[in-house]
């Protein structure tokens, strides 16, 4: 009998179908990896299994017993443990006390711990590498130890099934391997593990089987090799066949430096999102930063734009940007088009564009607007339409056009292809090529879709788990890194 069976799971949020007919089996002593880009529905599946969310349709069985409709505490009591992505310890209690709390009886008739609970808590702490920090409080722990404590709490009752959500987020390379060993140990002890993470390589190194999702639907299921070779999976992550246009990289390298990023690190609390990143962009260059979701691309761009604090140096031209406000940085010429677009949904297309160009004299604003309508003709015909009623592709064009209304010296595009249809990707690609041919603008492009990123690039950086692990020409990336990207 399977430890866990899921069949036909469906979850809707209003008109959005977050999970659509997902099913899988999970066996004792097995690790099943659940992978997919942002918004695929991975974490929602985990919440449906744990009872945090109730499915609109479908079945979840633990040891053959239906659990849909049960509250989360009853599912936990039946043998399912969960390691959440974000640690939420009791900060006034020590590590030992946090673990002991997970071992306490859950009955109002028994409010005291059973004999031996202290020894059991110490044993669990030792098994996850917390034996030396038992009497410390969570606020004093490094991020990796907080993740270990979440693992200890999840396995305290020796669950049959362990759900682990994004275990590698914020960990360094060495910490990823240490945490991977903890997950392997769970498998060796006979636990069934459902593992969700953006770090595809780390999941693939652990999983016995993999289920790939995209936009709420199952794309492929099988062994790691089978799923990684699946053309649909590769298209979801890569965008298609890797191709690179031949560009004169040597000429680009002789141009004056426009942007320098040196030894930049970023932390979100105790989680490290960027680790000693170096990058440079010369005037007129198109530079692509590629990497899977969660690699650190958005964090890098937000550091450059002054939206997050960082250690290290970011310089634009001859001036360091540390201490400058995002508004001042944008006025100086670094304009970011964010992944989330952040349009004013209840304002018209024209009003959004006018906001982007409000600093320009009237004549220059009209000139810039006319040029953008040539670049994105659909926006001219949609001038009076409210932004939230546009299609996803039209909204992306509007977001880019609004950024261009500011006449940037450096345009940062963060995941512009996310969720767009192939015909829209072609239109964006053509627009970028026209930008290159007709303007002196410099572009820094962040993309998971490398087949979109490579043809437009003079140089490519590969971000992997918060670090730059490769830099070079796009043709060399296609030849050397293509197979290892996933």
Instruction: Tell me phi and psi for residue 62, to 5 degrees.
Output: -110, 115
- Given pLDDT bands bounded at 50, 70 and 90, which one contains residue 312? very high
What sign does the dihedral 107-109-110-111 (CA atoms) show?
A: positive
Cα gap 266→309, rounded to integer Å: 7
Q: Looking at residues 75-97, what average pLDDT do you find? A: 87
Topology, domain 4-238: Rossmann fold (3.40.50)
**Through-space distance between the first and last CA atoms of the chain, rounded to whole angstroms:** 33
Domains 4-238 and 249-480 share a fold: yes
Mean of pLDDT over the chain: 86
Concatenated DSSP letters of 423-470:
HHHHHHHHHHHHHHHH---EEEEEES-HHHHGGG-SEEEEEETTEEEE
Does the pLDDT at position 349 exceed 80?
A: yes
Evaluate if residue 15 carries a pLDDT over 60: yes
**What are 437-474's pLDDT values in tens digits?**
888 889 999 988 888 888 889 999 999 888 999 999 88
Where on the phi/psi map is residue 340: left (φ > 0), alpha (ψ -120 to 50), or beta?
Answer: alpha
Single out the residue of 199, 140, 196, 206 nearest to residue 170, CA to CA.
199
Sheet holding 319-320, edge to edge: 271-282, 257-268, 311-316, 319-320
The helix/strand/coil state of 348 is strand
**Rounded to an integer, what distance in angstroms lies between the CA atom of residue 285 and that of residue 289?**
13
* E strand map for 300-441: 311-316, 319-320, 334-337, 410-414
Q: Is 113 helix (H, G, I), strand (E, B) or coil?
A: coil
Contact 77, 106 (CB under 8 A): yes
Average pLDDT over residues 39-61: 91
Lowest-pLDDT range of 82-96, 248-262, 285-299, 430-444: 248-262
What length does the chain have?
A: 486
Q: Residue 436 CA to chain centroid, in angstroms? A: 29
Antiparallel, parallel or unpaired: β 467-472 and 459-464: antiparallel
pLDDT at 47 over 60: yes
Helix (H/G/I), strand (E/B), else coil: 295: coil
**Residue-range domain boundaries for the chain:** 4-238, 249-480
pTM assigned to the model: 0.68
Q: CB of 75 within 8 A of CB of 62? A: yes
Q: Determine the pLDDT at residue 56.
A: 94
CA-closest candidate to residue 442, choices 364, 335, 339? 335
Would you state the pLDDT for residue 108? 46
Residue 320: per-residue pLDDT: 94
Please give the DSSP secondary-structure letter assigned to residue 107. B
Homologous superfamily, domain 249-480: P-loop containing nucleotide triphosphate hydrolases (3.40.50.300)
**pLDDT tens readout for residues 103-142:** 876 654 444 556 678 888 888 889 888 888 889 998 888 8
């Amino acid at each position: 009998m399977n430890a866990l069976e899921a069949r036909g799971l469906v979850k809707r949020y209003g008109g959005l179908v977050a999970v659509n007919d997902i099913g899988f089996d999970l066996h004792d002593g097995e690790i099943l990896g659940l992978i997919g880009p942002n918004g695929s529905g991975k974490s929602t599946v985990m919440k449906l299994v744990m009872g945090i969310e109730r499915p609109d349709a479908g079945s979840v069985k633990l040891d053959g017993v239906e659990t849909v409709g049960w509250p989360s505490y009853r599912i936990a009591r039946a043998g399912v443990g969960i390691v959440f992505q974000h640690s939420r310890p009791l900060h006034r209690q020590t590590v030992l006390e946090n673990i002991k709390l997970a071992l306490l009886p859950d009955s109002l008739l028994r409010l005291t711990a059973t004999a031996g609970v202290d020894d059991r808590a110490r044993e669990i702490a030792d098994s996850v590498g917390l034996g030396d920090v038992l009497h410390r409080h969570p606020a004093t722990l490094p991020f990796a130890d907080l993740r270990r404590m979440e693992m200890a709490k999840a396995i305290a009752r020796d669950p049959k099934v362990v759900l682990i959500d994004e275990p590698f987020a914020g960990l360094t390379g060495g910490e990823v391997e240490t945490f991977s060993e903890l997950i392997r140990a769970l498998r060796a002890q006979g636990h069934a593990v459902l593992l969700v993470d953006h770090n595809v390589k780390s999941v693939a190194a652990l999983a016995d089987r993999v289920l790939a999702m995209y936009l709420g639907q199952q794309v492929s299921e099988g062994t790691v090799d089978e799923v990684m070779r699946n053309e649909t999976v590769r298209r979801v992550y890569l965008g298609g066949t890797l191709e690179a246009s031949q560009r004169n990289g040597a000429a680009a390298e002789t141009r004056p430096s426009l942007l320098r990023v040196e030894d930049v690190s970023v932390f979100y609390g105790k989680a490290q999102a960027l680790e000693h990143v170096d990058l440079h962009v010369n005037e007129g260059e198109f530079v692509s930063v590629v990497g899977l979701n969660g690699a650190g691309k958005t964090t890098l761009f937000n550091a450059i734009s002054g939206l997050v604090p960082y250690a290290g140096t970011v310089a634009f031209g001859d001036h360091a940007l540390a201490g400058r406000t995002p508004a001042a940085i944008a006025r100086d010429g670094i304009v970011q088009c964010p992944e989330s677009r952040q349009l004013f949904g209840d304002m018209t297309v024209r009003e959004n564009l006018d906001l982007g160009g409000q600093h320009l004299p009237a004549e220059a604003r009209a000139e810039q607007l006319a040029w953008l309508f040539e670049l994105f003709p659909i926006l001219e015909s949609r001038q009076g339409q409210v932004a939230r009623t546009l299609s996803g592709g039209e909204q992306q064009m509007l977001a880019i056009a609004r950024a261009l209304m500011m006449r940037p010296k450096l345009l940062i595009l963060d995941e512009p292809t996310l969720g767009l249809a192939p015909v829209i990707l072609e239109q964006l690609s053509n627009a970028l090529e026209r930008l290159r041919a007709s303007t002196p603008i410099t572009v820094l492009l962040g993309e998971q879709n490398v087949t979109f990123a490579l043809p437009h690039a003079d140089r490519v950086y590969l971000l992997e788990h918060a670090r730059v692990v490769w830099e070079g020409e796009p043709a060399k990336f296609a030849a050397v890194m293509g197979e290892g990207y996933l």
